[in-house]
Structure 1
């Protein structure tokens, strides 16, 4: 989706407020154009943050898929100690509001409550390790909740498997299309992809390693308030391997020296709630590499997104470093 026409999304954001009866009291301000268009909604007089508006990219999710996301959010808040942003219902009583853009298309909009907090500080190693322990515990609570909730199987969400992550039907595009890709690098990464596929087939899908996951539990989607971790942006939630959530937590820093410490801290937290087997442990590197290739595709297909230019600097060098290590381990 092209985001150069910000006026279109500004119009949709303004019209969406009418569906909540907020057109006179609140205003919306663009935060980021990424997978979706995200706006902060503030009270015009007090400046108080009343919510966060997300305008979904057309064609990415159906209305039923978005309603399934909202159902899970409500369940998490009701039946776990975790904090996630609840959707705010519009005047029609629905979580999802349909707003027609001036291009004639319908856009799905949702306003979730604003959660105070700050993202983790990647430059503070000691704090990062501590926070990853909390994150592991948080992730395990999510996994356990989906295992015991009898409504999980009824949700309409996409499946994150090899094919939809980096295969022929990859949801975020082809990693081969990354601008700095060379023939040599592509051959190496194709060799890596073959090994990943074989290891995933061997690992298999069981009720203990596969289920409903957040699928994008990276630092940008976490808020910290004291020792409390709050989870936001469930837009990519779907059915996938639990280990995908660990790999997602390491997004955009997979090659950094701190990663082993972060993984160990995450595991310490996770094991407080759910078991983590030796078989699971053996595949951590596979899921980190799988996620790296998925993010390579995302960077290639989202050139218009705000953070892409900065994230792409040195990306291929780091990816090759990870690939060489992966091939030494499993090649």
Structure 2
């Protein structure tokens, strides 16, 4: 049975046409039918069905509480289905296609993104589940990732510098005034569509409990002005205290740690040929240290 037949069989659709999208971790397809357009996500092989069910339960909870999130579609067995493709079982979820398209970087877009993040955080504060899911703490964000990169950093002669940096970053995130709760963890323009003045968020594959100051790290990395726009949007919905704002600079490095681990091919969700090698690490670590000197206050 091919992918189109699986979709027709599990979701009751007909005349399905699938177009693969260029996504790095999961296999995502644009699904076109006479009755509408959808997005099918086939999760990477390390994602378990209970973990995906947690994600779907969170998504449904967020929608019920007013957050601007793409809606999952029920199949014959519920929201979480399983397809056998190429002799492998793949966990699959079908979503409504988010209206609009990926927005271009602009101040008003980041204001809308900040509002969306705040609505998600506000709604997620009342979400509970007994299902398994990642919880991001100092160990998972620093110790575990550095250990995964241990061989590469040793060969690059940057292990001691990276470990010392990690210890200093732990001092920042140990601040009890920092807000914690469920975060999207990858809330960039790659994971939203904009339609007029509305933003729809999708892809909660990395979501889990974390410090809320992690959410805008990629925005601060790209532009101080865009980060300030994000803050304006967020604070129009809920507080983001000065401690959180100051800590975002530290989470810029922690976000990079996650990305570099993935790029080296040693993250849980890594797949395919590594995008980074040992020769890249000296420059990367030097960039972290330079960012720390310029942006992080201890």
Aligned counterparts of 2:191 and 2:57: Cα–Cα separation in 1: 19
Does the residue aligned with 2:194 lie in a helix, a strand or coil? strand
| Contact residue 177 and residue 297 of structure 1 kept, 8 A | no
Question: For 2:73, which of 80, 88, 101 is the aligned residue?
Answer: 88
Aligned pairs (5 A) from 1:155-166: 156-166=132-142
Question: For 1:293, which of 257, 271, 293 is the aligned residue?
Answer: 257
- Cα pair distance change 1:144/1:316, threshold 3 Å: farther
| Contact residue 177 and residue 300 of structure 1 kept, 8 A | no
Deviation at 1:159, TM superposition (A): 0.5
**Unpaired runs of 5+ in structure 1?**
1-9
Deviation at 1:68, TM superposition (A): 1.8
Q: CA RMSD for the aligned pairs?
A: 3.1
Aligned pairs (5 A) from 1:1-331: 11-12=2-3, 14-22=5-13, 24-43=14-33, 49-60=36-47, 62-80=48-66, 82-92=67-77, 94-103=78-87, 105-122=88-105, 127=106, 129-147=107-125, 149=126, 151-154=127-130, 156-168=132-144, 170=145, 174-175=148-149, 182-183=156-157, 185-200=158-173, 202-204=174-176, 209-249=179-219, 254=221, 256=222, 259-301=223-265, 302=270, 304=272, 309=275, 317=283, 320-327=286-293, 329-330=296-297
- Cα pair distance change 1:154/1:245, threshold 3 Å: same
| Contact residue 243 and residue 284 of structure 1 kept, 8 A | yes
| Contact residue 14 and residue 27 of structure 1 kept, 8 A | no
**Unpaired runs of 5+ in structure 2?**
none
Deviation at 1:33, TM superposition (A): 4.4
- Cα pair distance change 1:83/1:277, threshold 3 Å: closer
Aligned counterparts of 1:95 and 1:101: Cα–Cα separation in 2: 19
The number of equivalent residue pairs is 292
Does the residue aligned with 1:117 lie in a helix, a strand or coil? coil
TM-score by length of 2: 0.85
